[in-house]
Amino acid sequence: MAAKRKFLVIAVVWAAAAAGLAGCSTGDELKAQSGTEKIEAEDAAATKASDNPFGGLSADQIAAKTVAATKSARSMRIAGKVTGDGELLTVDFAVDSKGSCTGKIGMKGGNAELRQVGKVMYIKGDEKFWTASVGAQADGITELLKGRWMKVPQGASTNVAGVCDLKAMIADLGKDTAELRGMTKGPDAVVGGKPVATLVKKKPGGETLTMYVAKEGAPYLLKVVRTGGAEPGALTFSDYNKPVKAVAPPPDQVVDVDNLGSAAAGALSASTAAGFRSGTAAGA
């Protein structure tokens, strides 16, 4: 169970985001949509002409435009609460298509900051976070990392890279053909002060998935809510195409596990690598 918990949070977030988009589009509809600039120009013009830019479109057609727009985004911010492995997880981070990532995550009362610069990830967590993440191996590790950033071991870097790889995450959107049908239009709403259209899908087991799609500008996904199932949660998506400024911590504040060579470092390296592998596999 502890191994499953380690760093599952971001894998769960990506899974939730991907499920929201994959659940409402068809491959054929997506082929006709590409390019952020083209979509933004077309939808800006449509919005000026009408308060209902999606008039005449089916739920699946609206969803196709949403998937295309979101897939073309160069960056975004994701925030909210999701459930994974029976645990409530909180997130608030920004990620771009170049692999830069910065933000905060929380689990079991613990909190951590994370940054990814290029292919190197840094994590700075409090005691509760490391205890929840590493489990029985937390003794000694929490003291070692108190007030400092952990640099992810080189051996785990290829697995970790996918966590903040926006391109890899959105590449699979719309490919799950089992999730491509069944959306219906819901009532219009407002998210973050912006008017949105809603798309709703009822799933087996009493789960309901609701997507909120921007009606102004490009039809980006602005919110996903899952209720009634085993993994409820809500995520908001914002700051599309805004720069993500991820800066490496000062060297004297970084614990490079690869270079410590101690028993504690070895345990941390092994458990962290395993945790990231477990988490990324869960989100695949």
Q: Please state the three-class secondary structure of 47-88 as a single string.
A: HHHCCCCCCCCCHHHHHHHHHHHHHCCCEEEEEEEEEECCEE
What confidence tier does 8 reach under pLDDT thresholds 50, 70, 90?
very low
Please check the confidence at residue 79 and state whether its pLDDT lies above 80. yes
Please check the confidence at residue 263 and state whether its pLDDT lies above 70. no
| Beta-strand relationship, 254-256 and 149-151 | parallel
Please check the confidence at residue 199 and state whether its pLDDT lies above 90. yes
Q: Which phi-psi region, left, alpha or beta, contains residue 98 (left: φ > 0; alpha: ψ -120 to 50)?
A: alpha
**pLDDT, average across residues 60-73:** 88
Look up residue 248 and give its DSSP letter.
Answer: P
Average of per-residue pLDDT values in the chain: 74
At 117-168, the pLDDT tens digits run 988 889 898 988 888 777 666 667 778 888 999 887 555 544 444 567 787 7
Among 27-36, 122-131, 205-214, the range scoring the smallest mean pLDDT is 27-36
**CA–CA separation, 152 and 256 (whole Å):** 7
Among 137-151, 204-218, 242-256, the range scoring the smallest mean pLDDT is 137-151
Please check the confidence at residue 56 and state whether its pLDDT lies above 80. yes
**pLDDT, average across residues 173-193:** 78
Among 1-15, 144-158, 201-215, the range scoring the smallest mean pLDDT is 1-15
Please check the confidence at residue 276 and state whether its pLDDT lies above 60. no
Domains of the chain: 2-283 (2.50.20.20)
At 213-231, the pLDDT tens digits run 999 999 999 999 989 888 8
| pLDDT at residue 99, rounded to an integer | 84
What confidence tier does 63 reach under pLDDT thresholds 50, 70, 90?
confident
Q: Provide DSSP, 159-223.
A: HHHGGG-HHHHHHTTT--GGGSS--EEEEEEEETTEEEEEEEEE-GGG-EEEEEEESSSS--EEE
Percent share of the chain, pLDDT over 90 = 30
